[in-house]
Amino acid sequence: MVVSRLFAGFADGLAERAWQPKGVPAAYKLFEALGKNKNVDLLTVFVAKEPAECRFSRFLSFDLSPLGRVVILPWVQSPWLARLKLDGKLREMGHLLRCLWLYLRFRPDVAYFTNATFPTAAVFARLGLCKVVLRLLGLHPDQVKISERPGGIQKWLYHSPFDHVICTLDGSGPEHHLNGLIAPAVPRSIWLNGVDFRAPDEDAQAIIEEKYPLNGPPIILFVGRLEWNKGCREFIEAIFKVLNKNPLALRAVLVGGGGLKDELAEKIKAASAQDKVYLAGAVPYSDISAWLARADIYVSLNMFGNLSNANLEALAAGKCMIILDSDPAMHTDEETDRLIPAEAVLRIGRDSIVENLALALMSLSDDRERIKAQAGRAKKFSSRFLKSWDERISQEVELILGL
């Protein structure tokens, strides 16, 4: 029994009773692998947890290849309870009771929970209903704060007797913070995500190269959710600084959706930079490799860690990369510094991100040979460092089936 939040990248497809995931490959590739495994009878439960998921306002249950049976637990709003700030608690309790009811009907040997459903995972573990796996897709700052607290209800929930905790090694500091977040006796695995080693889609690449000819200024690529913690605001401001000094220095593309898309579009319009900065929006996962193939420089300003899916794919594609330096005070990207050598990527300080990025881009934009040499070092390193998604997911399936 898999219990996962209804990720935004899954919602559009599920609304049409189709499996067309975008993003979160660590989750969807595992679900697919379990669904296709002949030794597994799978029930997949998606829990609607955000107001944007209000279209899922009733309980749904249907068969969906390759997952098998799929259940969607609804987003239900109670305005009068919301005024009392009890709406979320009631919804969480409703989801918990539904999961317990599904457990009684399905009787799983193993229940696997993604992080947003951790209260239900904790109840399953403390009741000893079955083997329980908690899956953390890296650590959020709220979890870091919980790890440092001496007590509290959330600390008690995270300290439940899980049979295993799996956390993504994404640069957010799990090697340090997990020691305080989960109970000492709980087995844990901290794993780097995989990558898809594949050629870009030729049709998608042709469309991109028609819009961005190879003989033009360097293409600077940003891939990620357009949220504050991904550094998209700082990225835009640094691009503007470079263009103000030299309008022909570069062109920038941001791939990804998110809550700041409209704000960034307004900034681009106000700067009259529509022909220099392009918001591509959310694209199919298969198209990202085409954007990477066209990009000259890849930039990640992820505040919480720079071993993300998108960054690993940029490494595998052999891109000249710019990322943030580590933050020892928060233990952010200490793993990144340990795993990725200084010569493989370019690092900039976190103290003045906009200015530091603008300086780095100005120094690179007129030096194609340096860009090419840096890309070659990234490619050489990634070829001996990264695993394929098939290898990575097989490792997780083996662990689950061995419980």
> pLDDT of 317-330, one tens digit each?
999 999 999 999 99
Specify the CATH number of the domain 2-194+390-401.
3.40.50.2000
Q: Write the class of the CATH domain 202-385.
A: alpha beta
Give tens-digit pLDDT for 2-47.
Answer: 999 999 889 989 999 999 998 788 999 999 999 999 999 999 999 9
This prediction has a pTM of 0.88
- pLDDT, position 86: 59
- Where in the sequence of the chain do the CATH 3.40.50.2000 domains occur? 2-194+390-401, 202-385
Stretch 340-344: mean pLDDT: 92
Closest CA to 115 of 145, 93, 139, 91: 139
Residue 256 φ/ψ region, left for φ over 0, alpha for ψ in the -120 to 50 degree band, beta for the rest: left
Structure tokens at 154: 């959330």
State the angle between helix axes of 25-36 and 389-401 in degrees (0 to 180), rounded to the nearest 10. Answer: 60
- pLDDT, position 301: 96
Count the residues in the chain.
Answer: 403
Confidence band of 78 (pLDDT split at 50, 70, 90): low
Q: How many CB atoms lie within 10 A of CB 40?
A: 15
- pLDDT, position 88: 66
Residue 346 · residue 226 · CB < 8 Å: no
Give tens-digit pLDDT for 368-391.
Answer: 999 999 999 999 999 888 999 999
Give tens-digit pLDDT for 192-213.
Answer: 999 987 788 888 888 888 888 8
